[in-house]
Amino acid sequence: MARFLIDVNLPYYFSLWNNSEYIHQLDIDDTWTDAQIWEYAKKKKLTIISKDADFYNKILMTNPPPKVIHIKIGNLKIRDFHELISKNWSEVLELNKDNKLVLVYSDRIEGVKS
């Protein structure tokens, strides 16, 4: 069962997220607005994974569900993106358990509690 919703602005073909815990927005509807994505994730109790600052801003003013993992690393080649995310993903998941927001930077990872 899905636990995470990957926003359309992140790679579809990404081996780390290629399992039943992850659903990509492209598999639902790539034309959805941020509000529609938010409501879907809220109903399904999913964590949104995105580079979109709108989700970051919204979660700061609300409480889960949904939770948000905001990837703030800018544009990278897919190989560099995969390497950075893969290296740190277990820490991101651990922080996601107790925080409503996880911020992923190229040099650090931070959690924001409810």
Closest CA to 32 of 69, 65, 5, 1: 5
Q: Tell me the pLDDT tens digit for each residue of 36-76.
A: 999 999 999 999 999 989 999 999 999 899 999 999 998 88
pTM: 0.94
Name the residue ranges covered by the structural domains of the chain: 4-112
Which strand (E) or helix (H) includes residue 40?
helix 34-44
- List own/partner pairs for 41-45 with CB under 8 A and 24 or more apart: 41/5, 41/65, 41/66, 42/66, 44/2, 44/5
Q: Which residues pair with 22 in a beta bridge?
A: 4
